[in-house]
Amino acid sequence: MCGFVGFTGTDEQSELVLTAMMNRIIHRGPDMGGQHIVDNVALGFRRLSILDLSEAGAQPMSSDDGKVTIVFNGEIYNFQELRAELEAAGYAFHCNADTEVLVHGYEEWGEDLVNRLRGMYAFVIHDQNKNKLFGARDIFGIKPFYYYQASDGSLLFGSEIKSFLDHPKFEKAVNHDALRPYLTLQFPATEETFFRGVFKLAPAHCFTYDLTTNTMDIKRYWSCDFTDDNSKTFEEYVDECDKVVHESVAAHRIADVKVGSFLSGGVDSSYIAACLMPDTTYSVGFDYKNFNETNYAAELSDKLGIKNVRKMITADEFFDALPDIQYHMDEPQSNLSSVPLYYLAQMASEEVTVVLSGEGADELFAGYEWYEDTPEMRSFKKRVPLGVRRALGSLVQHLPYFKGHNFLTKCAEVPERWYVGQAKVFDPSEVDEVLKPAYDTGKNAAEMCAEYYKQVPNCCELSKKQYLDMNMWLPGDILLKADKMCMAHSLELRVPFLDKKVMEFAEHIPANYRVNEEGCKLVLRHAANRTLPDEWATRKKVGFPVPVKFWLREQKYYDYVKEYFTAPWAADFFDTDALMKLLDDHFEGRALNQRKIYTTLTFLIWYKRFFIDEDKGAEVAA
């Protein structure tokens, strides 16, 4: 895992600019760096050595004739098979790094290369023969990719937005349309990021950039397909799941450095750790009352004969880390688990270079609570035909809110009307109450979700929810924090559940095998039970419990938030009286506003870091 930067439109200052951009992301690759400045294209790379630790694996890497050059962040897990195929076609290899497979693979297959890859990746190839750039991002969005087209047509691109700050043609400004959906969803959901003009290359997309015309063409090259395959029994699915997961873990453990595992004590990370059997697992909890669940991780590690290293996070550590976390995140993100993940990565990086973790299992195998019906909903669905429930669901949309309104809406099995993913912080009407008009301009959460629901009109309710989360929540929240928090400490995170072969299996599990009256994520839980004790295979999902609602009722942390909420520049975005009411009502016990407070706070911390502190630093440097 590494990081890259690049731009078109080179001049006599290009080497200095490229070096500054590379230095901005040195945390992604502290081992070595390299540059390629040819024909109006500049590519820069920072390397964290994982495979082939020698100089031979350095990037940018070029073809034998020097006409195809790549910068690549990630890992290709089927590189050995692809290499054998390319060697049979006559290509000579000079190192054992997976990067060289991409170079020769592009020479042999062109843009079709992306359809052959199994792995996590973001890359850019400079093709001098065709005077173009070709780039891609992996099918899940595990690795980040950002780009920005300057007013003169030149293109900036890289693994992190912050590297653009050091390019003279980058015009830094806040995207007015990003704040509204963020306040509901807690993550940056818009394709255009919080930095105006900076875009994310979406997962499973690739692009070509014509260096003659300065035009970019983007296309999707893969999409998940939740189509039930009813040809197998439940037990057959469980057997196959166990084989697929074990094989994926084996593929993800390949490295020339030490590999560890994150372990929370839940079924996902426990299953991965039990398959991997690393020397060490790493766990974090909070030094506050009952917010420490690391005992589960320690107990499982003991049963497996594995060393477990743990850390307890204090309230001061939590709040002290927020500015650094939002800087590394590049965009505001208010998932509370980002903080424990930050400290978890910091701790693990002291001993290992690579860790495996359990992200993605809930999206692929249907593990979220929102995917299940309550007992009352199940009873109602059994007694009332779907057609009647659909009619009732449509009717209540035209009536004022009443007790039972949400129940009838959900029982209609039309998630487009209510399901916006795993987080709903501010209701859209509440967003309108706190945002200033200039920033209350973007789409609301439901409007953003509608774009994805339109792509799967014939899927069942469960598959629609999973498809939405695969395309929004997973890359926008889960994988964003996974990459950025680990890379902040030069640690490579690998996620065996988010594997092409695992996906090809999981997407065809029948819906009633994924979720039913027995619970959710059933095939995976039963498969995990082949390796794990019952207590771990059946444990209910809890995530990273964080005691922030209690801390915000302590004067010290109330004052911390108040300083941001009452800052003069906060009034550019928010009705600060409304913000203070949220904070005061929570502090005095009249309401539970911790999620709204924290989501607003993280935006203000992000803004201060990039638009106030960054500018002050530039003035001092000048």
Which amino acids are annotated as binding site for L-glutamine, given as ranges? 98
Classify burial at 228, counting beta carbons within 10 Å of its beta carbon; exposed 0-12, middle 13-18, buried 19 or more: middle
The CA distance from 386 to 372, in Å, is 17
Place of tokens 């590690």: 301
Instruction: Specify the pairing of strand 205-210 against strand 3-8.
Output: unpaired
Rounded distance between C-alpha atoms, residue 58 and residue 336, angstroms: 36
- Per DSSP, what are the bridge partners of residue 492? 354
Residue 484 and residue 330 in contact, taking contact as beta carbons nearer than 8 Å:
yes
Tell me the C-alpha distance between 600 and 575, whole Å.
11
Segment 614-617 long-range contacts (CB within 8 Å, at least 24 positions apart): 614/165
Q: Which two tokens stand for residue 31?
A: 């081992």
Per-residue tokens: 570: 């906060």
**Integer CA distances (angstroms), 307 to 258, 268, 282, 355, in order:** 14, 19, 9, 14
Q: Which residue has the tokens 């945390």?
A: 27
Q: 278 and 245 in contact (C-beta within 8 Å)?
A: no
CB 21 within 8 A of CB 158: yes
Could you tell me how far CA 76 lies from the centroid of its own chain?
A: 18
Other beta carbons less than 10 A from residue 197's beta carbon: 18
H or E element in which residue 125 lies: strand 119-127
Q: Indicate the annotated binding residues.
A: 98, 284, 357-358
Backbone angles phi, psi at 312, to 5 degrees: -105, 125
Under DSSP, the state recorded for 572 is G
3-state SS class at 63 = coil
| Residues in binding site for ATP | 284, 357-358
Q: Which residues are catalytic?
A: 2
Strand runs labelled E in 495-590: 515-516, 519-520
Of 3, 540, 519, 595, nearest to 337 by C-alpha is 595
Alpha-helix runs per DSSP H in 2-151: 14-24, 79-88, 99-109
